[in-house]
Amino acid sequence: MGFAIEFAIVAVLVVSLIFSMFGQGGGSLYTPVLLLLGYTALVSVSTSLVLNLVTALFATLVYYRQKLVDLNLAVAFIPGIVAGAFLGGAWGNFVNTSILLGLFVVFLLGAGARMVYSHWEKAPLESPVPRTFTHGMYVVVVAFSFAVGILSGLLGVGGGVLIVPFLIYAFKTPTKVSAGTSGFIVIFSSMFGVLGHSAYGHLDLPLILATGLAVAVGGTVGARFMVKTTIGFIKVGFGLILWAFAFQLIVKLIGWG
């Protein structure tokens, strides 16, 4: 298993470097990498959530210094995503996620196509973030964040893969602010997903410690690169990541569904 840990360190470093550029923790790739290295599904999911947490934490520090985190907007997401992530992590032993994965694939393919297409749109859709929420808006945010939290805890993803396009297209949030704000929200979804898994003792501490430093470095470097990157590149890159995630889930459904 020593070689597996060494390979895991290199793999998660690269993943965290890339995904932190888009406000993501990288769980969509951490989990399959660990599975391929021979770790159990539950250990892979719980470890992925811890690595998501570390990546998002260090990346968010960079985003915050660059004024790319909208705390007012993020706070609205936290109650729902915290509750959902804890329940999703705790229910991971009992819930069959095949149907959820199938729906998730459809969403990712559509959202990815929308992101890639937006690169060729003549006028940007971005506008200032709303500073006040109507009751209806708040209900939508809480419901959405709760659903994302459930998926986060169940699948070992931080949820940024859904939060970023939601912020961009539902609230017309600037792309870089969406990535930075998503990174902040992912800290909470990952943290409470880990707590849900910890109730069943599925934390591999040696594995977490061995890979945690790598994602801290990757998350910091990737976030710094995002700050200097054009918005068009971020949208196309994020769309391609959504498609890659969809393909990964299709393979999972075919192999284990």
Q: For residue 41, what pLDDT is reported?
A: 75
Each residue's pLDDT tens digit, 211-220: 988 888 887 8
What is the total count of domains within the chain? 1
CA 169 remoteness from chain centre:
17
Distances (CA, A) of 172 to 127, 128, 169, 189: 5, 7, 5, 23
- Write down the H helix ranges in 93-204: 98-118, 135-155, 160-170, 175-198
Contact yes or no for 46/203 (Cβ under 8 A) = yes
Each residue's pLDDT tens digit, 117-137: 766 755 445 555 555 667 888
Q: Highest mean pLDDT range out of 35-49, 173-187, 189-203, 219-233?
A: 173-187
Query: How many CB atoms lie under 10 A from the CB of residue 222?
Result: 25
Q: Which range marks the domain in which residue 10 is found?
A: 2-256
CA 224 remoteness from chain centre:
18
At 201, the pLDDT band (50, 70, 90 cuts) reads: low
Please tell me the distance from the alpha carbon of residue 67 to that of residue 4, in angstroms, as a whole number: 38
User: Above 70 in pLDDT, residue 208?
Assistant: yes
Mean pLDDT score of the chain, rounded to an integer? 80
Please tell me the distance from the alpha carbon of residue 172 to that of residue 225, in angstroms, as a whole number: 23
Please tell me the distance from the alpha carbon of residue 242 to that of residue 116, in angstroms, as a whole number: 10
CA 239 remoteness from chain centre:
14
Residue where the block lists tokens 């509750």 = 83
Q: For residue 123, what pLDDT is reported?
A: 46
Q: For residue 24, what pLDDT is reported?
A: 64
Each residue's pLDDT tens digit, 69-120: 999 889 999 999 999 999 988 887 676 656 656 766 777 788 778 777 766 7
Distances (CA, A) of 230 to 172, 174, 180, 234: 17, 12, 15, 7
Q: Which residue has the higher pLDDT, 256 or 112?
A: 112
Look up residue 168 and give its amino acid: I
Q: Angle, to 10 degrees, between the axis of helix 27-36 and the axis of helix 41-65?
A: 150
Burial class (CB in 10 A: 0-12, 13-18, 19+), 75: exposed
Q: For residue 124, what pLDDT is reported?
A: 46
The mean pLDDT value for 9-23 works out to: 79
User: Above 90 in pLDDT, residue 184?
Assistant: yes
Of the listed ranges 40-44, 181-185, 226-230, the least confidently predicted one is 226-230
Both tokens assigned to 13: 């470093």
Report the percent of the chain where pLDDT is more than 70: 79
pTM of the model: 0.76
